[in-house]
Chains A and B, each alone.
Chain A
């Protein structure tokens, strides 16, 4: 079994699901969103990061056993506090086999998958069924805009959303609001229209663009393209969702 590559583990990840949770960030993502706030999550391989505190390698190999030992050490704490384990990324589906093996070893605990939904349908379907909850990103409904800003088609994502909705696993739709790109009225309305009737939908989270997103790019020798958006106000339209009877949480 090839090891998984993890670029971060965060305990007490208060934004990653109910209760006290530990989130495992898996390295590698097939998308390349221009706003991505974890650029070190894109490349599947470990890579050097030049931080102000010195160099460090982002990405560490874990066997499923090692990761499960670490997580199982905390399971009783997570269970006692309404929480659990979240797998995030990058795109965790890129390391689906590793996650399967880790879940096989994990003691009973609430499991949440945080995903962009971009994967082959059987890979997606097989994995989500093993989770208690899914956080599913929806970025852009317009196919062309999705291609332009994330580098991939949104067709497989929307397909997988149907699979998710039929799987019986409750899910939350997460919309990153990037000024002028994803935060337009049209896009938010289109997302609301698309999801409001889906069985299993718990709520929609609106995530305003994080101003500090660009800081890590130079540390990886990458260029951040959205600097001019840094002071741009975000167009938050919870009303568009509420009017469809969808619960909304603004972060």
Chain B
């Protein structure tokens, strides 16, 4: 269904940034007052929410039915620099510091309303009146609830004054009370979710949206208050509103904001969970075609082909989503890592790929990456220099992978998580137990990704075959060529590149190396019994920005940039991203790629990270193609792979967009775990997207 004129106007206004005119120059300053009052960290975090909510100016635009426009461009610090330095000295902060990349239990919060949560807080306060720490947390949490309610009230009043009775009524009722309608539920979510961002949290996901929102929509449809068209209109407006503040969210590149939602799958009791809202989300995301929200679809080997066809229509838009997760392997994998079956069935996908449990997970899913190319390359060079056997080289790799894991976990063993009273309101049991979420939830695991695996495996396979088995290359030859970046031996580089076994071809030799690298990672993670927070360490397969960082070097990587590698790759060339063949490697296509990656043991490798395939946009040219791509997605699940990203790319269009960005402002591409506007990416990421190999059929 094409968007209505009202929605097109709204979408264009958001893309133009019309609402930026409301952004304020100054944000509230907290530190001086907090210092004078001698506020604790907890109290300061609550103060932050209050101050931000109070300083927010009401913006209601004529077309809107779901309101809230953020007007405060930045989030102020809660401590002066020196105090912050003291507080965090000798401790490790995760990324920017604030709690991020977890998922609230939105369904629970909606069902209680903020006043319901407030009552729960008061009950705990009464019960624990003699425990100062609990009282302080509860009072802080209540302060944040009151701040949000006051903000809603100001919005309601302004709406009333503007004769926008619909909005005023909704905001009089929500978020204080449980929503009565789908419209109120969307308004509730918009406001309560936006305030999480206002508190400095980021990668704030929307969880299993089709599950917790469906009861509200179902009731409206049954009562005749909404039909499909009017419901889609509301949902589309909600999706557009999620794009308003994207440029204010922190991220490596714009678009990397983790505003994801997850649909499909099974219920906690194991029943099929797909409903009419699942389909509606796919249709509306297709029609809206903006970078937010990023959609994850949970499937199994038996998922209905019609659902996959609808999802493929979204892929055809070139947005880079939906991303698919295969319940058949994800759920048992989580159970094998200590997740209760009901919780595992209730997983949602975090900002990029990782599987987390709404309301219950305080997993820090990405504490860093193991550089497989570094492990392989240092082992190859040192081993060959020392005249070692191939087995001895692999032993070096094992040690290095283990050392990298231990170093990452060691750094994070003194992880400092700031208190988060408002986010705690939205989690399971924090108000009931009187414990802030930073002290831990049901799941407190870490995640580490094995990055750029294809290049690591290819380098090892090339050495095994060409140096040890075929003896086509001598160790000295290879060492000299690597050290000089193949300067005067391009023949050798071509030999390594063309004749070395390569990941993605269902080639036994290369695939054994791949599986071995991940087994080494899993083994290193499994040896860590306690990550310092009572959790374990989950190994994963994502690469995020590492495919560039590891190749070019980056201040955030302890491992230095890797030079030329034995797979015939020259220094500086980006590595493979996530699970994909190395850039420039020829593979017959997606079936072999799936067969290769189906060999990983996803019961051990459970932190996510998708197989990434690029399809030329010409693939979608024929009427039958949608169905064929849908069958391909089903094949991915039937082969027992874990996660899949399918992108539709047209290299020519991308080139054109580089030279004439003004003509391609709306061009969206998938970068690693997220999608962004191509023209807003930095040149090196643009270049990588263009160079990415894709299967051009025809």
Residues on A facing B (Cβ under 8 Å): 9-16, 18-20, 22, 53-57, 73-74, 77, 80-82, 249, 251
Contacts and interface: CB of A to CB of B under 8 A. Distances in A.
B529 to A, nearest CB: 40
Nearest to B584: A53
B638 interface: yes
Given A11-B592, A54-B490, 5 more contacts: A12-B628, A22-B591, A56-B494, A77-B639, A81-B631
Given A11-B589, A57-B498, A73 B628 contact: no
A219 B58 CA distance: 63
A16 B697 CA distance: 9
B595 interface: yes
Contacts of A80: 635, 638
B619 A14 contact: yes
B497 interface: yes
Given A20-B628, A73-B506, A251-B621, A12 B494 contact: no
A172 B619 CA distance: 20
Given A55-B494, A73-B506, A10 B588 contact: yes
B128 interface: no
Identify the 9 closest CB pairs spanning chains A and B, nearest first: A11-B589, A11-B591, A15-B698, A81-B631, A9-B588, A14-B697, A11-B588, A12-B589, A12-B590
Nearest to A21: B628
A251 B588 CA distance: 23
B497 A54 contact: yes
A160 B433 CA distance: 82
A77 B494 CA distance: 33
B632 interface: yes
Contact of A10 (B493, B494, B589, B631): B589
Given A55-B494, A56-B498, A14 B589 contact: no
Given A11-B592, A56-B494, A251-B622, A77 B635 contact: yes
Interface string B678-698: 000000000000000001011
Interface string B468-500: 000000000000000000000010011001100
A82 B634 CA distance: 13
Given A11-B590, A14-B622, A20 B506 contact: no
A154 to B, nearest CB: 25
Contacts of B584: 53
B628 A14 contact: yes
Contacts of A12: 589-591, 619, 628, 632, 695, 697
B632 A20 contact: yes
Residue among A13, A19, A251 having the largest count of chain B Cβ atoms under 10 Å? A13
Interface in B539-591: 584, 586, 588-591
A10 B697 contact: yes
A2 to B, nearest CB: 22
B625 interface: yes
Interface string B495-520: 00110000000100000000000000
29 contacts: A9-B588, A10-B588, A11-B588, A11-B592, A12-B619, A12-B632, A13-B697, A14-B619, A14-B622, A14-B624, A14-B625, A14-B628, A14-B698, A15-B697, A18-B624, A20-B635, A22-B589, A22-B591, A53-B584, A54-B490, A54-B493, A54-B494, A56-B494, A77-B639, A81-B628, A81-B634, A81-B635, A251-B621, A251-B698
Contacts of A16: 697
Residue among B490, B591, B622, B695 having the largest count of chain A Cβ atoms under 10 Å? B591
Contacts of B490: 54
A22 B624 CA distance: 16
Main secondary structure of the interface of B (DSSP, over half): helix
Contacts of A11: 588-592, 695
Residue among A12, A55, A57, A249 having the largest count of chain B Cβ atoms under 10 Å? A12
Interface string B590-632: 1110010000000000000000000000010110110010011
Contacts of A13: 589, 697-698
Contacts of B695: 10-12
Contacts of B698: 13-15, 251
Interface string B444-481: 00000000000000000000000000000000000000
Contacts of B628: 12, 14, 19-20, 81
A80 B635 CA distance: 9
Contacts of A15: 622, 697-698
Contacts of B619: 12, 14
Contacts of A73: 506, 595
A80 B301 CA distance: 12
Contacts of B494: 54-56
A9 B497 CA distance: 18
Contacts of A56: 494, 498, 586
A249 B621 CA distance: 12
Contacts of B586: 56
B584 to A, nearest CB: 5
A54 B490 CA distance: 9
Contacts of B634: 81
Interface string B144-170: 000000000000000000000000000
A19 B589 CA distance: 15
A205 B61 CA distance: 52
A206 to B, nearest CB: 13
B214 to A, nearest CB: 31
B415 to A, nearest CB: 43
Contacts of B631: 19-20, 81-82
Contacts of A10: 588-589, 695, 697
Nearest to A24: B588
Nearest to B498: A56
Contacts of B588: 9-11, 22
A12 B593 CA distance: 11
A77 B697 contact: no
Residue among A14, A18, A249 having the largest count of chain B Cβ atoms under 10 Å? A14
A110 to B, nearest CB: 14
Contacts of A74: 591, 595
Contacts of B592: 11
Contacts of A249: 622
Nearest to B305: A81
B448 to A, nearest CB: 32
B444 to A, nearest CB: 40
Contacts of A77: 591, 635, 638-639
A177 to B, nearest CB: 15
Nearest to A53: B584
A10 B619 CA distance: 13
Nearest to B652: A212
A247 B296 CA distance: 39
A208 B498 CA distance: 33
A19 B631 CA distance: 8
Interface string B632-660: 10110011000000000000000000000
Contacts of B497: 54
Nearest to A55: B494
